[in-house]
Amino acid sequence: MPPAHPFDDDKLREECGIFGVIGVNDAANFVALGLHALQHRGQEAGGIVVHHPEHGFNSARRFGYVRDNFTSASVMETLPGPIGIGHVRYSTAGNKGNTAIRDVQPFFGEFSMGGAAIAHNGNITNANTLRRELIERGSIFQSSSDSECIIHLMARSMGRSIPDRMEEALRKVEGAFSVVAMTRTKLIGVRDPLGVRPLVLGKLGDGWVLSSETCALDIIGAEFLREIEPGEMVVISEQEGVQSHFPFRPRKSRFCIFEHVYFSRPDSILGGRSVYETREAIGRELAKEAPVDADLVCPVPDSGTPAAIGYSLQSGIPYAMGIIRNQYMGRTFIEPSEQIRNMGVRLKLNVNRALIRGKRVILVDDSVVRGTTSRKIKEMILDAGAKEVHFRIASPPTAWPCFYGVDTPQREKLLAATMSEEEMREHLQVDSLSFISLDGLYRAVGEANGRDPKQPQYCDACFSGEYPVRPADMLEQGFQMKAAE
């Protein structure tokens, strides 16, 4: 499958999105709406599993956008019942870029006490080891996804209930995981002990909702109650409501800081704070750390917009939409021939020439990964007659790959892994280039004293190279971790 925007390979892919609901009529409709709101977290494929007391479990898994697959009556009528879960994905493990339908979640398993389905956001860092052990003991895998390990571990558990089996299975899993699962009568949500990936709880009339982000609660009119705590498991039934317990050894939370920077939608709430307000605060910190004389502050749309507004407010330099995004660019637009590919980002972004001509322009973007798109945008700005181009990046340099559910390039393909900031500036051929510092990013997300180097408050491995969970499979394949300082 092609990426959602085949002309832009310079963004980190937003792992996956998960959603579940119980205690409503036609749960599949609510799941589809929730997945639509989470589409930014995964645009490769999606799936829904439901249960009906008379019709049992039913599922549908499709490639492409939710709106193209889960809106027709012919599909939704096959998914009856008051409980359901769903998943949207990018491939972060297994067969990247060549996904088979069998890799599309949720996964389903039939156990002695009944069936269960599971959807997972994150990455299991010891999946290869677990898979080898399970295959040696007779397990037969149907997919290349690391998430299927959880189903097989549950099958081998001697737990008396499905939640017990899931609890035992997840104790053997390393890495990052937020999970939504369902049985015939229960909706289950779990976060890993570090709380790397997000999961929230909502209320919808007499029903309950689990979601990767609060924006998906808004679309169905559900009330946001709280975040699922790191290391917490909630088991929800219509009769007993929400039952919570903590099956893992307590550890200090290390939530993914890049959720604040890029992954989450700006209208979501993280840690009690608006993502939009946090990104605006990042822009303000960036303006304090890296001021420059210029005429305009322009975002690279859409992810750079809140930070650009913050930079403008702090610096007093006018904000302007110097680059316009084509909102209708999608995977079905045109088969990308070599000639079309050479047009690059011009198919998706266009410069507002009348505004840019003769101006000193500050371009604010959320990140620089490979640098390919940044160079193309710079060329477009200069072609439009800009006098100067200054890049300001609303995250520290991305110098290390993520092993916790983000599709990151190999380290040698990350620009910041092989170049200094000045070398990157020369490579991009811009008048100046500055990234927000790691301390500045921490201040923007609410840590007044910046980053505690002895006990960081977030997972920031993509910037610092300090991995809170040992990436066992990657070390086995020869990955070299950062040497201890």
pLDDT at position 325, please?
85
The predicted pLDDT at position 74 comes to 94
Output the CATH code of domain 274-326+336-450: 3.40.50.2020
16 is catalytic: yes
Domain locations in the chain as residue ranges: 16-254, 274-326+336-450
* Domain 16-254 in CATH 3.40.190.10: no
Which long-range contacts does 78-82 make (Cβ < 8 Å, 24+ apart)? 79/28, 79/48, 79/50, 80/26, 80/28, 80/50, 80/52, 80/55, 81/27, 81/28, 81/50, 81/51, 81/52, 81/53, 81/55, 82/22, 82/23, 82/24, 82/25, 82/27, 82/52, 82/207, 82/238
Q: What is the mean pLDDT of each run of 10 residues along the chain (485 residues)?
A: 42 79 97 97 95 97 95 96 96 54 94 94 94 94 92 94 96 96 98 97 98 98 98 97 96 96 95 96 98 97 94 98 77 46 67 94 94 89 95 96 86 93 95 98 96 96 96 92 77
pLDDT of residue 91: 59
pLDDT of residue 14: 53
Long-range CB contacts for residues 205-208, cutoff 8 Å, separation at least 24: 205/23, 205/24, 206/23, 206/24, 206/238, 207/21, 207/22, 207/23, 207/24, 207/82, 207/238, 208/21, 208/22, 208/23, 208/236, 208/241, 208/242
16, 149, 256, 459: which is the annotated catalytic residue? 16
pLDDT at 347: 72
| C-beta neighbour count of 412 within 10 angstroms | 8
Instruction: State the pTM of this model.
Output: 0.92
pLDDT recorded at residue 302: 84
- Token pair belonging to 119: 């959807």
CA angle 226, 228, 232 (to 5 degrees): 145
